[in-house]
Structure 1
Amino acid sequence: MFAPLTVAILIACAVLFLLAAHHLWRDRVVDDPIMVVSGLVELALLAQLVVGVTRSGSIQDGSERATYLAYLLTVLVVLPVAIFIAIKERSRWAMGVVLGAAVVVAILVARILQIWQLNV
């Protein structure tokens, strides 16, 4: 994998986590900063998908390659679904969903990197 891209995604997830925690604490709903950071994370995840798919041939074990590709595709869905739920919910806990999604995306990206490092 492309390590600087992974680090950038993890930092963006941390920023999203902090924004969502602030919004949760202040009882606020989804606003522009949350949407912008989420969009940036999604763009970085799309770039990671392109890089990951093009380099996935390096993974020799077929089941590990399938797991790797499944993680690459799954991580793309988490944040848009969380933002959709947060927009529709309009309660304090909508930001809890975004906060949880930021954690899940960070964990999935770390796992993608772990699979890559173990198999290449």
Structure 2
Amino acid sequence: MLFPLTVVVLATAVVLLASSGVYAARARLLDDRLLLVAAIVELGVLVQAVVAIAHLGSVPGDGAETATFAAYAITLPFLPPAGVYLTLKEKTRWSMGVVAVAAFAVAVMTARLQQIWNLHG
């Protein structure tokens, strides 16, 4: 895994989490700025998934860790678009909470990917 890429994905996911939390608190809906941050998160996650899948054979640890690593790498790219899609469909104050939860999940799963990668490194 590329540590700088992990840091960028984590940072942008935290920015998306905080921004969507502020939007939810102020009862604001998704706008272009937040959509741009979500797109940056998605781009970073896609690059991370490609790198992770390319290096799947060299994941340290037992088979369970490799399976977890692969599952996280494959699942991560679906989270930001799913959160944004649900937010666009549901036009309520709480729809921004969906984006916040998706951003939190991206941050946690990205940190776990890096943790698995560094397990025996």
Range into which the TM-score falls when normalised by the shorter chain: over 0.9
One-letter amino acid of the counterpart of residue 4, structure 1: P
1:53 maps to what in 2?
53
1:36 maps to what in 2?
36
Distance 1:22 1:67 in 2: 32
Distance 2:78 2:50 in 1: 15
Unaligned 5+ segments in structure 1 are none
1:22 maps to what in 2?
22
Distance 1:113 1:82 in 2: 23
One-letter amino acid of the counterpart of residue 21, structure 1: G
Specify which structure has the higher proportion of helix: 1
Q: TM-score normalized by structure 2?
A: 0.93
One-letter amino acid of the counterpart of residue 99, structure 1: A
- Aligned residue for 1:70, secondary structure, equals helix
Distance 2:37 2:59 in 1: 31
For residues 2-31 of structure 1, give each alpha carbon's deviation from its aligned partner in whole angstroms, at most 9, with x where no partner exists: 000000001101110121011111111111
Comparing 56-65 with 67-76, greater Cα deviation is found at 56-65
Distance 2:59 2:15 in 1: 32
- Aligned residue for 1:118, secondary structure, equals coil
Distance 1:91 1:52 in 2: 36
What is the identity percentage for the equivalent residue pairs of Structure 1 and Structure 2? 41
2:63 maps to what in 1?
62
Aligned residues: 120
- Aligned residue for 1:91, secondary structure, equals coil
Q: CA deviation at 1:119?
A: 4.2
For residues 47-104 of structure 1, give each alpha carbon's deviation from its aligned partner in whole angstroms, at most 9, with x where no partner exists: 1011111112112533322221110011111111111111111000001111111111
Distance 2:23 2:78 in 1: 22
Written as runs of structure 1 = structure 2, the 5 A alignment for 1:1-120 is: 1-59=1-59, 61-120=62-121
Unaligned 5+ segments in structure 2 are none
Distance 2:63 2:22 in 1: 43
